[in-house]
Chains A and B, each alone.
Chain A
Amino acid sequence: MTETSSEMPTPSEMRAFDEANRAAWRAARMREASRALVTGHIALYVCLPGICVFLGTHAPLLLLALLFGYLGLLSWAIRRIKRQRLKSHVKVTDRGEEELAAQRKSVRYVLGWTSYIVLCLIGWAVLRRHMSTAAHLASLAIFPLMCIGYFVYWAVRLALWEHFLFAACIPLAYLPILLYPGPPSPQSSLVLVLVLVIVSTASMVLVIVGAASLYHRWEVWSRSLDDLASEQAGEEAAS
């Protein structure tokens, strides 16, 4: 490469630029996989209201079992992640984490979020009285829709199918509320409830599966990078 260039880039410079873009893309994928637990939780918290409303009404025991199962799984996952992080020398943080850790923007983040939520609650409480049912439902759907957009964006940008799964789980979690016609009296409606309970449960299970798969990618990557680093260190020591 030339030292300073104000001319048109040469083909080799163009290739180097493409290679750098690919490296950045690989890094972004790995960074995203490393924060699988956080991403999985974002998806889960978006799905949870839909799951809790439906299962809480029709299968409260199943909901309790799911929540306790999830908590057990979470504590096991945190222990496993801690152990893996201690052993591995492959570490990455995203810019948000870095800024929060440096406490540079944490006050601004907290203040911004708190005021946003307070404003939303006040606005919603005031407007609710003047809204039709359709408008009411539409306003409730804004946040899940935004999250679907977020997951689809990252799925397309980083080619990670787990993000598509997270995006698909959100409508799945709210589907039972929208499809459920009313109190179950005939047998056919009991079958419908059963199907919707399965759909609702599946959305939560699929989010957990997606997060586990994303974290598995990170584990495989970090293990191979650890091996590569120690291999190269060995070669350098030998030479």
Chain B
Amino acid sequence: MTEPESPPSLDPLIHEAARLMIVSVLSECGSASFSFVLGATGLTRGNLSAHASKLIAAGYVEEKKRIVDRKPLTEYRLTDAGRTAFHQYRADWLRLTSGKNDKQFRDRLIR
């Protein structure tokens, strides 16, 4: 008898709501400035800095700082590892929320 397939586990680093938003926004861009991510996600500056630091430490996001017009400009870019992790996260999410668990999932949403 074959063992039942275990449900996929979601990457805890991306699973957090704010970080999921940051990674989702960066997945649509090559690179994006701090202000751009701030506007697209609706996070506060402090929140964005803190969560971006965690993603940078994990190697999912790359940060580039430079001076433009005598003001510091921070740019973020999703690394290849970050992009792969995000695709994996989405695939796991879709597997979790579809198929045989559909009814259970709908029940929980209704509750």
A interface, CB within 8 angstroms of B: 1-11, 13-14, 16-17, 19-21, 23-24, 26-28, 30-31, 86-87, 89-99, 221, 224-226, 228-229, 232-233, 236
Contact = CB atoms under 8 A, between A and B. Distances in A.
Interface of B: 6-10, 12, 15-17, 20-21, 23-25, 27-42, 44-46, 68-69, 71, 73, 75, 77, 93, 96-97, 101, 104-105, 108-109
Contact of A30 (B10, B36, B97, B105): B36
B36 A23 contact: no
Contacts of B44: 232
Contacts of B75: 91
Contact of B30 (A2, A13, A19, A96): A96
A12 to B, nearest CB: 8
A52 B97 CA distance: 53
Contacts, number: 140
Main SS class of interface, B: helix
Contacts of B16: 1
Contacts of A4: 9-10, 12, 15
Given A20-B24, A21-B24, A8 B101 contact: yes
A152 to B, nearest CB: 20
Given A225-B39, A229-B45, 17 more contacts: A1-B17, A2-B15, A3-B15, A4-B9, A5-B10, A8-B97, A9-B97, A10-B108, A13-B17, A14-B97, A16-B17, A24-B25, A27-B24, A27-B29, A28-B28, A90-B33, A94-B30
B45 A23 contact: no
Q: What 4 A-B pairs are tightest by C-beta distance, nearest first?
A: A98-B30, A225-B39, A16-B17, A24-B24
